[in-house]
Amino acid sequence: MCLCYAVVIALYLGASGALTSQPLISDNGESQSKAAEHLKSIRMAEMTWPDIKSAVEQGYTTVVVAVGSTEQHGPHLPTMTDTRIGDELAHRVALKLGHILQATTITVGCSRHHFGFPGTLSLRDETLSMILLDYIDSLIRSGFKKIVFIPMHGGNFPTVRATLKEAQTIHPGIEIIGVTDIAKLFECLTSASAEFGIPANESGSHAGECETSLMMALEKNLVIKERFAPGYVGLTGEKELKTISEQGMQAVTKNGVLGDPGKASADKGEIYLDRLTEFLIREIKKQSQ
Ligand SMILES: [Zn+2]
């Protein structure tokens, strides 16, 4: 999705209802459901400290954190797009894998290349790195033994990858992992788009069909269909990426879109969500000790 894909905040989701109604799936289902029956939410932001303490003692020693962005997403999608998608995916991954709590999503990322459009907030790379290190330090103090990061915004990937490597050296006794291979993520999405008969340039890397479908599935009231319009639909190769990084997105796309939202639908969005959840779970299992 978004080269700019992002993730996050518990607030948007009204989670408790969703949590009690969704089955918890786990490799060791019985102990999972026993431990989980006392948890109204796995979102730490919605829990009290005694409940977090008790969950960790009952085996919830893994925590997942999405890393999102707040940036323009064309004239038809809200600036929280990457954060919302990332938060949802982190939540689904945590529920499916079981024995995982979710820490508050990081809602602002590295988005300088979107500054040509109002509403974009950006951290410097070093700021994001410090936030990640402080998250890790805090989560270790809460008793977690394994910390999983899910970046959803392209601009965050290099910093997340480098910082997690550094953090693993600082905390050798803790397992710190992240799904930071953006090429594989794109591959997962474009293969789903191809099944719908939508070429990669329309599916897009920012606010195109794919990301718009995801938001129609998650936040249909925030998607403005009347404004759907193609953005840049040429190839996004090295030349275009260089232009974007040196001159900003507006040098390549006037409306802020890379792709074409025209064929987006909530049904496709649900399928993208399923594929992404499966992809993330595969990658996390591969990296897990
Ligand atoms: Zn995005």
If you write DSSP's letter for every residue of 71-118 in order, what string do you get? --BTTTB-TTHHHHHHHHHHHHHHHHH-SEEEPPPB-----GGGTTST
Ligand 1 centroid, distance to 69 Cα (angstroms): 8
Task: Look at residue 2 in the predicted model and tell me its pLDDT.
Answer: 52
pLDDT in tens, 177-195: 999 999 999 999 999 999 9
Distance, CA 153 to ligand 1 centroid (Å)? 6
pLDDT digits (tens, 9 = 90+) for 165-175: 999 999 999 99
68 falls within a domain:
yes
In a domain, 5, yes or no: no
DSSP conformational letter for 258: B
- Would the pLDDT of 231 be above 60? yes
Query: Is residue 49 domain-resident?
Result: yes
Angle at alpha carbon of residue 67, lines to 193 and 13, rounded to 5°: 80
Report which of 219, 73, 222, 216 is spatially closest to residue 152, judged by C-alpha positions.
73
What CATH number corresponds to the domain at position 215? 3.40.50.10310
Task: Answer yes or no: is 3 within a domain.
Answer: no
- Supply the pLDDT for residue 236: 79
Task: Determine the structural domain holding residue 27 and report its residue range.
Answer: 10-287
Length of the chain: 289
Within-domain flag for 96: yes
1 assigned to some structural domain: no
- Distance between Cα 16 and ligand 1 center (Å): 26
Give 205 Cα–ligand 1 centroid separation in angstroms.
8
- The answer to the question of residue 2 being in a domain is no
Q: How many domains does the chain fold into?
A: 1
Compute the average pLDDT of residues 257-284.
98
Query: In angstroms, what is the span from residue 140 Cα to ligand 1's centroid?
Result: 30
Give the pTM.
0.87
Check residues 24 and 173 and name the one with the higher pLDDT: 173
Residue 64 lies in a domain: yes
